[in-house]
Structure 1
């Protein structure tokens, strides 16, 4: 591969304590997975071993969890939305979550409910799917600049979808106001004062993918992962998954890296400062699912305590990852990964091609014994843009 330099700001976590959280643990993840297992069409998503790529970059293993295969929805997000809605309805109708089924709850619902949420695409699709299963209504708001294809995915699930003229965080506030005025139930994966129960359930639902991944890693008999790469928007997925992994392996035994786009790097900035920092403006990154400027305060303590490093990177890192995964080396499996899904593998490729490769490998603790887990959180949820990146070279790199 050529030599080129992409912008990757790497910050060591000076506030690392290794303190875990009972909210985001193996026990809670396994409760969520027990629920998901009962849903029609449930299957663990593939854990792909990119052995040729690992050999190229000089590590023992690169393992990628391919969430494009999740329930035919092309992303992981429904894991959180469906679980939270189920927990909410179980509480409302006094049903044990172990006895939950969409049909049973649907039969007991005496009033029509409307679930409201803000999304960059994938979360809203999951909420719309769950509402459809229950025969209920969903209203989904999206920030300005949202791709029409992502809107269409939500509309096809029977939800109302409205694109605002605001950024993600302002759209969340508007959604909350509309819901309060109209009696809707907000299902959002970030938290604020007085709204913590549902986002906690959402984050616990995301950890199903981590429970699957650990089971799959054990089956491979390759040893436990030394590294995990987790992308962050508000940090809900990153905290939910990392909480499970550090409960299993111990925070000091896992080099965890949280990666964000430089135009929406609120978790990175929070990590540098050691306290919550918000980012404003348009946040016009191609990583639409990560274009969030305000960290989830529920996930932040876990990320502050257990993340090894925070990284802020340019969009070309994600675009590189999309091309690497879509055009694999040797016998490696092909993974169709969207902009937000591919940034972890893009980071590995960008480090390998960097003129300061050896220094960056050392800083990230990567060597011939490293086993790296990455999560491809979505497939080509915006096919037009996927083709522009992978076929046409949008957000390409220039060799030095």
Structure 2
């Protein structure tokens, strides 16, 4: 059931029992697929001792997704795997359709072009012109929707073509599952880059598909704590966790454009509701400071990526001793 609500009862949510929940891991073949792509290389895991000292943490790392398969965000991991799977059954040229707040649509457009196909991308009218231009430079058709991200998803789903959406709902489940599987490569890289399991991984969240990938990875074998971070103007996962069911929220303007989503993915919800230790909503001001602080340390995160640092700061007093923390910076600066 999805219902609408307009107020945050709290800016954070905690459920320590999540650490004992388990789920099957993602297929190992996905990592092999990515490793075979011409532009593939693991993204950096950068240690930031000064931030660790500020926050009273043993070691703090940032997984820096500012350059992934030639694009400034992690989204190409999911789009490449999903399009690869879809093309196995394709005959002739197809048009891939999707809705986006920016990076996902650009990734779908890039992968469509590289594979000799077309893309039609729907964007809400709050998406910055620079992000729209970047999608158009991939030879994609772009339709600007007078409405929210959820409105753009609805139009993309009605547009025909082959929908490549990182959000699932009843009857549309397989492609989002492939996208989530693709995102898991990022977590395998972290395993290889760290000497031991992290105590905490902090995850920027939009509809929750990327969080589902992180949950799937760590909850298949680990007690690592997992924290979701959202804008306080679009905290659909936080409010769903507080309500105990999928919840749609009204969204407002935010510098975290890629997280500006009003409804969690229905296919991600079982993972979010069982596997997240906590969630927090942050302000644009706190996110701006995080962007500036990471930039000063040589990590060129965009607002969505820097949200992980702002979220950690917001709940640090609640977390106790931490030896190793990983912040996932999901995008570079525009």
CA distance in 1, matches of 2:189, 2:221: 13
Is this contact kept in 2: 1:326–1:335, CA < 8 A? yes
The answer to whether residue 192 in structure 2 is matched with residue 239 in structure 1 is no
Deviations 1:257-282 (A, max 9, x none): 111111110100111111111112x4
The answer to whether residue 167 in structure 2 is matched with residue 190 in structure 1 is yes
- Corresponding residue of 1:151: 132
Shift of 1:56: 2.3
The answer to whether residue 32 in structure 2 is matched with residue 34 in structure 1 is yes
Deviations 1:178-229 (A, max 9, x none): 22xxxx0100000112110000000110111111111111xxx3x3200110
The answer to whether residue 282 in structure 2 is matched with residue 318 in structure 1 is no
Matches within 5 A, 1:42-61: 42-61=40-59
CA distance in 1, matches of 2:319, 2:96: 42
TM-score, normalised relative to structure 1? 0.78
CA distance in 2, matches of 1:145, 1:275: 27
Of 309, 312, 316, the residue aligned with 1:345 is 309
Q: How many residues align?
A: 325
Shift of 1:248: 3.3
Shift of 1:19: 2.8
- Residues 56 and 35 (structure 1 numbering): CA distance in 2 closer, same or farther, change over 3 Å? same
Deviations 1:15-68 (A, max 9, x none): 74733333xx2x42x321111111111000000011122122211011110001
Is this contact kept in 2: 1:283–1:292, CA < 8 A? no
CA RMSD of aligned residues (A): 1.6
Is this contact kept in 1: 2:168–2:268, CA < 8 A? no
SS at match of 1:247: coil
The answer to whether residue 332 in structure 2 is matched with residue 379 in structure 1 is yes
CA distance in 2, matches of 1:15, 1:195: 30
- Corresponding residue of 2:255: 286
Is this contact kept in 2: 1:120–1:142, CA < 8 A? yes
Shift of 1:285: 1.4
Shift of 1:12: 1.3
Matches within 5 A, 1:169-180: 169-179=150-160
- Corresponding residue of 1:256: 226
- Corresponding residue of 2:15: 13
CA distance in 1, matches of 2:170, 2:67: 35
Shift of 1:177: 1.2
- Corresponding residue of 2:198: 225
Moved over 2 A (4+): 13-22
Is this contact kept in 1: 2:19–2:277, CA < 8 A? no
- Corresponding residue of 2:71: 73
CA distance in 1, matches of 2:317, 2:145: 44
CA distance in 2, matches of 1:300, 1:314: 24
Contiguous gaps of at least 5 residues in structure 2: 1-9
Is this contact kept in 2: 1:15–1:304, CA < 8 A? no
CA distance in 2, matches of 1:189, 1:145: 19
Shift of 1:362: 4.0
The answer to whether residue 91 in structure 2 is matched with residue 122 in structure 1 is no
- Residues 343 and 297 (structure 1 numbering): CA distance in 2 closer, same or farther, change over 3 Å? same
Is this contact kept in 1: 2:282–2:310, CA < 8 A? no
CA distance in 2, matches of 1:347, 1:111: 46
Contiguous gaps of at least 5 residues in structure 1: 1-7, 94-109, 329-333, 352-359, 382-400
Which one has the bigger helix percentage? 1
Shift of 1:364: 2.2
The answer to whether residue 323 in structure 2 is matched with residue 370 in structure 1 is yes
CA distance in 2, matches of 1:58, 1:15: 24
